[in-house]
Amino acid sequence: MDLLEYQGKQLFARHGLRVSSGEPVTSVEDAVAAAAAIGYPVVVKAQVLIGGRGKAGGVKLAADESELREHAGNILGMDIKGHIVRKIWIEHASDIASEYYASVLLDRSAKLPLVMFSTEGGVDIEEVAEKTPEKLIRHHVDALQGLSRDEALQIATDGGADADIREGVADALVALYEVWLEEDATLAEINPLIVTPEREVKALDSKVSLDGNALYRHPENQGLSDSENEDPIERRAKEEGVQYVKLDGDIGILGNGAGLVMSTLDVVAQAGGSPANFLDAGGGSNAEKIKQAVDLLLANDAVKAVLFNIFGGITRCDEVATGLIAAFAEIKPSVPFVVRLDGTNDVEGRRLLQEAALPNVHAAKTMNEAAEMVVALAAGKSVGAGA
């Protein structure tokens, strides 16, 4: 779960990291009120979960109220790579002497926490890593001991932080590690971590991803993320506990098991189609669950045909067929379906479907055949005999 900049900064502040005072607002009038309280000059920052905000014109400095009105008015409602700006963050502008970079993340390969630090902040860190790797310190931390103050100071020193602010950088690294650990984050990144002319070390930006599986330990974090910009179908799926990801195509996809569904998307794409979603219906096969999944899938108006791909393991295909027939009776979908039932009790499942003679439902035996059929149907072509 990715947090907006200001949400990440609020987490930072809770753990003692220095950030500028600011306020999230949704209107020009509120922005003016916030700036009056904070004091000019202020920075107006678009709150969207996408990089490149500055280049898109979503970050502006305002010296006074008239500039603030102009910038806030322009940025609110702006479309940044498909993300509509509904919220802006107003913060007191900082003077910058140096821009550093700091992050803590879960290194899946080493299976350890990884602290990274560089004095080359404010730019794309992947570029620094590629072009001048010697300027990016990568330090693995003992997962059971945590990051010590001495270790953090060593990282600051090795990374070439100015001598007079090494202690400040070390404090920031320790606090950032604490954010990562105690908030169950998988990533906590500051780019840039700035040094002010007064030699203060401060987080000017934030990028934080929280582990959705750990939210039960953090009820206070549950309302975070960019829920206003979330796709409405994805949001509904989350509320219903269904694994659903919206994509830009026109073929609805539903299957059992995350790996099989990912594979189904690929096979459909290889057959020339364009998947409209990822939907893992899980192990269940009862009518209620299938109906819920089909409902979700059809909530996307772009869907022109649906591929239902089941490989029955513990899930029995005859139960899936029964569930599907019951779900269809209620939903009465208007787009064609291709149903591929394979695995446990597949013959019986296909027989049930055939007997039910659901309108516009086509049976397929293999994944490849099913993919070809659904691609043809989505393109408005007809396929062989229906189920």
Partner 1 sequence: MAVLVDENTRLCVAGMTGREGSFHTLNNRNYGTNVVGGVTPGKGGQDVEGIPVFDSFEQAAAEAQPNTAMIFVPPRFAADSILEAAAAGVALVIAITEGIPAHDELRVYNTLKRDYPGTRLIGPNCPGILSPGRANVGIIPASFFKAGNVGVVSRSGTLTYQIGNEIAQAGFGCSSIVGIGGDPVPGSSFVDVLDLFEQDPETELVVLSGEIGGSAEEEAAQYIAEHMSKPVVAYIAGFTAPAGKQMGHAGAIVSGSAGTAAAKAQALEAKGVRVGRTPTETASIAVEVLGGASLAAS
Q: Which residues are catalytic?
A: 101, 189
Q: Is residue 267 at the binding interface for partner 1, with CB under 8 A as the rule?
A: yes
- Which range, of 168-176, 191-199, 221-229, 360-368, touches partner 1 by CB under 8 A? 360-368
Nearest distance in Å: CB 385, partner 1: 22
CA 155 vs. chain centroid, Å, equals: 30
Question: x/- contact string, 20-59, with partner 1 (CB under 8 A)?
Answer: ----------------------------------------
For the four alpha carbons of 23, 27, 29 and 31, in that order, the dihedral sign comes to: positive
Give 51 or 359: the residue with its C-beta nearer to partner 1. Answer: 51
Point out which residues pair with 138 in neighbouring strands.
116
Nearest distance in Å: CB 371, partner 1: 9
Rg, the chain, Cα only: 26
Pairing of β 88-92 and β 83-84: unpaired
Q: Which of 121, 83, 86 is nearest to 102 (CA)?
A: 121
Q: Is residue 224 at the binding interface for partner 1, with CB under 8 A as the rule?
A: no
Q: End-to-end CA distance of the chain, in Å?
A: 41
The residue from 144, 163, 198, 334 that contacts partner 1 (CB under 8 A) is 144
The residue from 194, 324, 367, 374 that contacts partner 1 (CB under 8 A) is 367
CB atoms within 10 A of CB 360: 16
Pairing of β 337-343 and β 361-364: parallel
Point out which residues pair with 36 in neighbouring strands.
none
Point out which residues pair with 275 in neighbouring strands.
251
* Structure tokens that stand for 303 in this block: 């869907």
Give 149 or 217: the residue with its C-beta nearer to partner 1. Answer: 217
d(CA 161, CA 365): 63
- Which range, of 115-123, 254-262, 291-299, 320-328, touches partner 1 by CB under 8 A? 254-262
Q: Is residue 192 at the binding interface for partner 1, with CB under 8 A as the rule?
A: no
Q: Quick check: 147 and 131 in contact, CB under 8 A?
A: no
| Residues of this chain, 286-305, that bind partner 1 according to CB under 8 A | none
* Structure tokens that stand for 159 in this block: 């990374």
Q: Is residue 252 at the binding interface for partner 1, with CB under 8 A as the rule?
A: no
- Tokens 């409602």 belong to 77
Q: Is residue 308 at the binding interface for partner 1, with CB under 8 A as the rule?
A: no
Pairing of β 251-255 and β 83-84: unpaired
Q: Is residue 374 at the binding interface for partner 1, with CB under 8 A as the rule?
A: no
- Which range, of 87-95, 107-115, 222-230, 287-295, touches partner 1 by CB under 8 A? 107-115
* Structure tokens that stand for 147 in this block: 């990051």
CB atoms within 10 A of CB 273: 25
Nearest distance in Å: CB 387, partner 1: 21
Give 36 or 123: the residue with its C-beta nearer to partner 1. Answer: 123
Nearest distance in Å: CB 178, partner 1: 13
The residue from 119, 204, 344, 350 that contacts partner 1 (CB under 8 A) is 344
d(CA 77, CA 203): 26
Kindly list the residues in this chain that would bind partner 1 in the complex (CB under 8 A). Answer: 2, 106, 108-109, 111-113, 126, 142-144, 181, 184, 186, 211-214, 216-217, 243, 245, 247, 255-263, 265-270, 275, 278, 280, 311-314, 342-344, 366-368
